Amino acid sequence: TCAHSAGCLAGVVEVPRAVTAVLGQDVVLPCRYRAQDEDREKVVQVTWLKRGAGGSSDEVVVLNREHGEHVQAPYAGRVLRGAEGALEDGAIVLRN
């Protein structure tokens, strides 16, 4: 799951319905925020969660405009930011 935090959520979060991954290879998980008013809307944080059985979810990584990225311990070394620059592109790469 990808969630964007913006001052006013007037735009649209775009994520694919499905992403195909191959065991042992890297996969990009895309997530983009399309602002309705680019002058007034800025993404300040992107949080990726892993859904578990029974509806539970675990935080994987937080991408923050001021504080950088924070990868949770179980995913350290396996999760990378997928794009440089503004957080409107909140894609991540899962390694291996």
- Over residues 4-55, the pLDDT tens digits come to 555 555 689 999 999 999 999 999 999 999 988 877 888 999 999 999 888 8
pLDDT of residue 78: 95
0.85 exceeded by pTM: no
CATH 1.10.357.10 fits 15-94, yes or no: no
In this structure, the strands spanning 43-51 and 12-14 are unpaired
List Cβ neighbours of 8 (8 Å cut-off, separation of 6 or more): 40, 41
Integer CA distances (angstroms), 72 to 3, 39, 78, 79, in order:
16, 32, 10, 9
* Alpha-helical regions (H) of 11-81: none
Q: Would you state the pLDDT for residue 3? A: 59
Q: 10: left (phi > 0), else alpha (psi -120 to 50), else beta?
A: alpha
